[in-house]
Structure 1
């Protein structure tokens, strides 16, 4: 029995030594950031239609009529069927405390994707006349997003390695192999800044009206990296 125990101890010693060595390997943990800025060339517009009536059927019909008009408006701008869709539909009973009676509220949300940002002003010019009651948001995008994200990842890793090199070089040591990478990224998109559509806001009465400031998309990749120290 003692011989068996001795053999097991001898067999497990290399494993224990390897684990101990792994746990005591000198290492450095640093953060890295890669940032790419790009002017958007696409956008996604979220539009809302709402109608209220004394009964559900009337509210729903009023809403359906407006949505039908809006869809025709979207199609008139040569936007493909694949680039717009309904994202939310609701119909509910609501109590009006001021009038002390119930009514029914119908609503629908549509999302329109413009692959060419140049179509934005023309599309938005008369959208409210089509029956839209809410413009819930505009999200700017880039057609080269995936390519730019890859570029930002590379910059983040190079930034992390440079930081690690700066630290260990001060102690006459070197950065070793990569041990761990954690991606803490979050994409940051600009918000549109609207301007009043009046002649006073233009350089002159004949100048084209500017209704939105595109800004830039900040594609930011943040990583937490661990390197061995040699």
Structure 2
């Protein structure tokens, strides 16, 4: 997508000579790179409910502890596991327009970083087999994401320049190749896999996790000067 100002010849007199005023050409540029992920981020945990908060918390704590021990047993260290979310929510039922207290809901979600992508499915299965009853999300990323983004950003700048050059040639005007301004867009990264679920049940079949590829995208807007 690009935008440009309609060509208007603007001249000013300097002695016996005329020269054109500069005009502005605004274009957008995009750069995309596909990369193989090398890290998996898994969010799973335990949801417990009870009329007594202490009991709901106790059941939740025991289950989380069991999950952590089981993950340690398959090679996931404590540094790879951290609490992603912890909430205590009062639960109510509505009967005949009245709010009736039902109990407490305790949610404890763990964020697990897995460097060996082949083990992502094993981590999910191990967590579920040892007490996890919710899997919130599975996403992938790459350790050199910033380096790849810089490459995508460079490609976006070149894309913007090529567009500006093409437009200038079509208008038969002189383009100043160095932009007078460049505005960077936000970092974009399309995830190959994202699983969201409120509940996850045990299965006799191992969970297949396919990482696919990550698409890293950069967008810029650049303004160039051109003369007629």
Give the counterpart of 2:220 among 205, 220, 223. 223
Distance 1:151 1:115, change over 3 A: same
- For the 8 Å contact 2:32–2:215, the answer to whether it is kept is yes
Question: Which of the two has greater helix per residue?
Answer: 1
Structure 1 Cα separation of the partners of residues 123 and 84 of structure 2: 19
What residue in structure 2 maps to residue 20 of structure 1? none
* 2:190 partner SS: coil
Stretches of 4+ aligned residues off by more than 6 angstroms: none
Q: Cα deviation per residue 1:153-182 (whole Å; 9 max; x = unaligned)?
A: 000000000110111122142334321111
What residue in structure 2 maps to residue 164 of structure 1? 164
TM-score (norm 1): 0.77
Mind listing any 5+ residue stretches in structure 2 that lack a counterpart? Answer: 1-20, 196-202
How large is the Cα RMSD of the aligned pairs? 2.4
Q: Cα deviation per residue 1:57-115 (whole Å; 9 max; x = unaligned)?
A: 111100000011111122222223222200221223212448x6521211111100112
- For the 8 Å contact 2:161–2:177, the answer to whether it is kept is no
Structure 2 Cα separation of the partners of residues 101 and 174 of structure 1: 71
Distance 1:210 1:78, change over 3 A: closer
Moved more, 116-125 or 36-45: 116-125
Structure 1 Cα separation of the partners of residues 204 and 46 of structure 2: 26
Structure 2 Cα separation of the partners of residues 168 and 143 of structure 1: 40
Q: Cα deviation per residue 1:101-158 (whole Å; 9 max; x = unaligned)?
A: 5212111111001122122122223321111011000111112211110100000000
- For the 8 Å contact 2:80–2:112, the answer to whether it is kept is yes
Structure 2 Cα separation of the partners of residues 144 and 116 of structure 1: 16
Matched, 1:43 2:40: yes
What residue in structure 2 maps to residue 19 of structure 1? none
Moved more, 219-228 or 122-131: 122-131
Structure 1 Cα separation of the partners of residues 204 and 29 of structure 2: 46
- For the 8 Å contact 2:92–2:102, the answer to whether it is kept is yes
What residue in structure 2 maps to residue 119 of structure 1? 119
What residue in structure 2 maps to residue 88 of structure 1? 85
What residue in structure 1 maps to residue 184 of structure 2? 183
TM-score (norm 2): 0.77
Give the counterpart of 2:61 among 60, 64, 84. 64
Structure 1 Cα separation of the partners of residues 134 and 207 of structure 2: 20
What residue in structure 1 maps to residue 29 of structure 2? 32
Mind listing any 5+ residue stretches in structure 1 that lack a counterpart? Answer: 1-23, 200-208
